[in-house]
Structure 1
């Protein structure tokens, strides 16, 4: 028979306690009556019973009775008990030991139960907080299953939800070395009845609890749990929180879907409004120019014919840019923007952009500040040129005729930084926050709204972010704006 450490300590405490009382009254305090000595031994028995349990208390009571009989009851020095009252004392010691140990054990058991319940309540609170903080996706259930295993020290947790007429497993987490698959028949039965069930695992070594996930009285799933320490009430409380998390995720997904549909409708309306205007305007002027050219009763001079041809050419260019922007935005939103990086001369890239933007920056002075010794950079020239084109067109659109547009390029911290500064009306703080949103068009103070779809700056942002860079604007109302894009690049000295 092997004794635990606590039992050994208890037996030792019984020996020491009885020996100490005997020594005190036999050697230090003499002449004390037998009743005082008996009560002292009784206190030792009570202490041992409350601290170390029944076995140690019985040992203390027997030792106390023997020492009381041998040292303090006449005739001393013998174990002979002449007086029947001494047998009563022995019986009192034993009864006291049993009752005190049982009461102490019950008190400790209640204390442990209270502490365990307090810990479970605290864990349930932490679990509920974790549920509230989780985002709305199906990966949430995997996270919740893992939290149940870790937080409540369970061996296994699986979450099943109602789909396509049956319960399908949505998430699982475990500490088990061997795979475990709950029987589908039990899952379906618990889902149908809504009642907690317990069944042995496949190898029969561990109990598996099956709790219905219910919102109100309606089951929406089932949770399977393997734990030897959780009570039924706690398991049902966990299942209730998991059900709330599942319903919350579904609700948030529905809200997100509704919001996405609403935003989609708004974007469609904005796109139709912008595109219809930008289609109607050039088509109207082109039709007028073509109708004039088709008039047989009018003989137009060379200047008029040139003007008609110029109108048609400019409007075709506007329509081409509109279609290019729509296609570019579609590629960005679909994640189909493919980058082909080559070594490029930045000055040549800027010259190409200015050629493309000739109509937009007509009657403006453009100054390019790029060092002749500017290094070669490895970029996707088509997309970078597209982003810069949108910035330059935006500057031409919002800056007054005769004003200057400054294009500046530099390399800093392995980043290509290109900026476009205009002398337009600038932006308010609210506009700075929205200027890169799709279909947003700034409103110059004291002027009519500028033509355009509001896609140019959004396209520029999408392109730059696809390069791993960033784009921003600095502006003060009435003092123009500077749009800057920074892209991480490889670079080398030209030559």
Structure 2
């Protein structure tokens, strides 16, 4: 049974092939340690492709102290390095702009994981390489296994060395080729001892710390496994394209500000790759988020960026009950596995006490697989409470007076109750109510605690025997006081917690309100400018930061950024600070590369604004700049911004689709109107033109009527022009029939040479000024065609050659057999067809002037009709150059039967 191709898969393959046609190819030479021969193998491969005629440039090669490696640079063009000075040290880096300007076919860039010096466009070299690939330049590069992000912790545990220069796994996995450069660990150590890798003093240090047989063997195994994993991933992608292949696994890791959260994220990323499933990173914002320390915020941003680099989808939730939030998200999102760090919470020996985070989560989500990752630092991970800034309690005159006033009112009410004869239990509730009021009215929790203690002391002083002392005769009063104090503190704590929850709910509601408001306002807009302005105003409203909007416009068949629009917030910022050459350059880079850059990022981080693309999956509609001072966007703000920009991109996409749909409808109506008009005119002109042509022919035959030669020439011109008009009318009628689908082919088996000979009898009389030759096919070829229409094709092609070549030019009509196809060509040695015209020469009403025709001899119908007739016969019509000059129009159709001449 024939298996049908999945159209979605086919579309993805076409898009992938389209992207591969413009994007450069990346080849990584992969090793497990320094000195295995990565750079040597890369240079050897470069020489091999250089000999094949490839344009190769050495962009940056690390100055190794290895003579054999450096000798291979001979014969390669070296790109001058970018020289920078940092803290008095002269540094050399890859000149990215120089490489883009040079535009070689292949560039060699050593050390993929290298961190660039300050002053470079990007923080990391792999980002430079990504820009080179996007420019269509192929790249050869090198990297070791310890520089891959998800393997960093494993390598560090083996070698005891934490590598700071790392690359995202996606860079390695998405490379077009990975060549493993391998060598036995004993051979590598021998090379090190012989001084082929490092100099003597550095070699001894390396042997003592890193280059042991155990370390190298373990690293080699990891490198082999990682290469095999990449092969498996490539195989699975092929399976996914061939069928509806899906594993259904969904891995969730929780983000936090913990110093060791990165280890958990890397483990989850490896797990997601192993199970070939979706990978999601979740951050739950609780009430302590607003009081996070700056160091915690910085670590949290770093962990979010790490998760993004490893391919995770970032999600944000709010709530103080973190296990409940995670369990609900997992249930709704179809999560199958959760990765956590080990909790510090321990149960007392009697089994009583606080449950650990993992135990709470297991109880809430019993059907999920929960992986507990050992933590060397023994610190809690995703569930670790955010550290708060603990400022000392500060008295405030207003809050102090309000607390005293509430306590005095409660005392007066209690004294009144005592006079009436109410019991002490009623008086206690009055004071508890007062503590609750203070907790609700004041934001500082310390006041409610002070009020609870003061209420107990006041009750003891005024309402227990002996009165006006802090003593009590009744032995049960101390318990009453303790319970009263506990109730006051508990209600105070609960009131404060309710207020924090109210704040969180308000933030969530605000977010939903802004997004809903943005969506509604965007839907109400009908113009592109209106959508841009709505998006900018909403961003100013939610962030209270100045926004710079760059829309895109089409000029000279290319999309470019238009002039920026500034939407100021309070306090306002100078326009010169936001709009200048440097800032626009960053925005242009974001527009061309479809990535974020600028302030708080690793790309062009010295910019004043953070620049984000307004984009769908592949199309960038514009760029937005957010003016940042020192603090980067927190996760809540970042989530809002990305959601808003997504709404804007979708609205712009719909606007473009609606405009194109309207243009298509208008064009269809115009085409229909034109077809009806042409059909009507053609029918009306056919009869008088036939009469004029016939009468002119009769007059030409009667020579006795016109002895004046000038008169005979005028009659001949009338006959010729009327014949041309008749041909034009026939072409118009044929075109309208083909466009409307009303033309029916009268297919019969014919000899092509007979059709060509008959057509040549009806060529314009101007052919007498040219040299017309007919080269017949060596074999008798029968074809199934509509002979009348095929004659029209031959006539139009020859007349076209006559019209656009000078007098005396040679025109050759030839036919030949190629396989099962008959090829008919009309060649001339005239000026030829420019390359710019070849793509449109068969368009309707297109002439050599490249515009709508208005000349009597150039309506632009002939070639368009020829192509339509040939396509109706299942053939193809093309134009190509004739050497040394001229053009060849040729069409091919299927041959029915072939006989050799006897």
Instruction: Report TM bin, short chain.
Output: 0.3 to 0.5
Q: Normalising by the residue count of structure 2, what TM-score does the alignment of the two structures yield? A: 0.27
Q: Normalising by the residue count of structure 1, what TM-score does the alignment of the two structures yield? A: 0.45
User: Which has more helix, going by share of residues?
Assistant: 1
Which structure's CA Rg is the greater one?
1
